[in-house]
Amino acid sequence: MKRVLDSSVGVKWVIPEKDSDKALQLRDDFLNKIVELVSPDIFLIEAAHAITRAERQKRITPAEEAKALTHLLTTAPDLLRYVPLLPRAYELSSQFRIGVYDCLYVALAEHEKCDLVTAESRLISSLGQHFPFIFDLATLP
């Protein structure tokens, strides 16, 4: 089974948050080749941004920040080029008034004909009714 992984889920691999246990199970399934995870290649940039923000907010220490980034670099999903997805992501962003970054994940899920797993409530509430392949991490077993 293939799934697109949103960076909001990947960050939960390295920063303890709500539903981190579900994110870690998904990561373990990926590492054990039970599930295939793909993301646009902006995944690491978005995740690194979230990690540095967590350190600035004192939710993690600088040492934990460095370890988190290293862990993500070694366990990242398969990264696919975002450039071919950009026209569709732009179209979705304009139509639904949601960020292009988020729409790149939706465009990738459309292209790959698979589910998108996210922890972004705004993405789910804005696009979930239009794209039934968008799943909230919280709903996974």
Q: Which residue is listed with tokens 């004909």?
A: 113
> How many domains is the chain built from?
1
Q: Determine contact, residues 103/90, Cβ cutoff 8 Å.
A: yes
Structure tokens belonging to residue 88: 């569709």
Give the domain extent around 42.
Answer: 2-139
Residue 19: pLDDT over 90: yes
- pLDDT tens for 48-57 read 999 999 999 9
Question: From residue 116, how far is each of 39, 64, 78, 102, 107 by CA, in Å?
Answer: 9, 28, 14, 11, 10
DSSP secondary structure letter of residue 130: T
3-state secondary structure of 113: coil
Res. 75: pLDDT tops 90: yes
pLDDT at 47 over 90: yes
Q: How many residues does the chain have?
A: 141
State yes or no: pLDDT of 141 exceeds 90. no
Q: Rounded to the nearest 10 degrees, how much is the dihedral formed by the CA atoms of 110, 80, 124, 69?
A: 170
Domain with 8 in it: what CATH number?
Answer: 3.40.50.1010
In the structure encoding, which two tokens stand for residue 13, read together? 């691999």
pLDDT, tens only, 85-137: 999 999 999 999 999 999 999 999 999 999 999 999 999 999 999 999 999 99
Whether 77 shows a pLDDT value over 90: the answer reads yes
Are 57 and 47 contacting, i.e. CB atoms less than 8 angstroms apart?
no
Least confident residue range of 3-7, 26-30, 122-126: 122-126
pLDDT of residue 74: 94
Give the predicted TM-score (pTM) of the model.
0.93
What percent of the chain shows pLDDT beyond 70?
100
Q: Which of 25, 6, 24 is nearest to 131 (CA)?
A: 6
What pLDDT shows up at residue 11? Answer: 96
